[in-house]
Structure 1
Amino acid sequence: MRRIFWLAMGITIGVLVVRKASKAAEQLTPNHLANRTGNVIADFGTSMKKFADDVRVSMKQREVEIREGVGFDGTLGAKAEDNKD
């Protein structure tokens, strides 16, 4: 009975080791590595596009703030005229 138990245990462990090794070997194939690299590059490109969009929006907001602060928005003279009335 002990021999059958240990035989079954050895077969089970052997199958698990072979499956794990096959999975690891599959992840190192050129096609798998190329797909994974392509996905990483695509994700990076998407992230960079979102970042650039955020920078553009922030630049426009900051430009409006600077123009208002300096008076290039056309309200500098209007404020002085409003105070005269």
Structure 2
Amino acid sequence: MFRRTFWFTAGAAAGVWATAKVNRKLKQLTPESLAAQAADKAIETGHRLKDFALDVREGMARREAELGDALGLEAPVDQDLPVQRHRAVEAGGPPARPAYRTLPSNSNNRNEDH
């Protein structure tokens, strides 16, 4: 009799445990829960990308300072200003030609309204 009571209690406990585990998993798979999990992952990814960008910017500023010291440049680096790029061609050169072809004013364009 004691053996039957033991196995009955063990089976009931296993059933309660399995039911609780299934219900917990079902709550995790509801649309609201999935949306909240996706939003949390998106926010976490955004924070990681921001941290990465800040690390890259800090490394760039450090390397720029190292190169400035190596080249003998004494200009201070302002962290708030964007980096200004210089053109390789002097400003006094010939004017640049447009990259597109202009059509003559009396073109025979058949697609225009008449």
For Structure 1 versus Structure 2, the TM-score category normalised by the shorter chain is 0.7 to 0.9
Q: Which has the higher contact order (CA 8 A, sep 6+)?
A: 2
Counterpart in the other structure of 2:32: 31
Counterpart in the other structure of 2:53: 52
Residue by residue over 1:26-84, the C-alpha shift from the partner in whole angstroms, topping out at 9 and shown as x without a partner, is 1111111111111111111111111111111111111111111112227xxxxxxxxxx
Is 1:62 paired with 2:63?
Answer: yes
CA distance in structure 2 between the aligned counterparts of 1:8 and 1:69, rounded to whole angstroms: 79
Counterpart in the other structure of 2:12: 11
Report the aligned-residue RMSD.
Answer: 1.5
Query: Structure 1 length as normaliser, TM-score?
Result: 0.75
Identity %: 36
Task: Return structure 1 stretches of 4+ with deviation > 4 angstroms.
Answer: none
Shift in Å, 1:3: 3.1
Extract unaligned runs of 5+ from structure 1.
75-85
Letter in structure 1 aligned against 2:37: R
What is the aligned length?
Answer: 74
CA distance in structure 2 between the aligned counterparts of 1:7 and 1:61, rounded to whole angstroms: 70
Flag the structure with higher helix content.
1
CA distance in structure 1 between the aligned counterparts of 2:66 and 2:60, rounded to whole angstroms: 10
Extract unaligned runs of 5+ from structure 2.
76-114
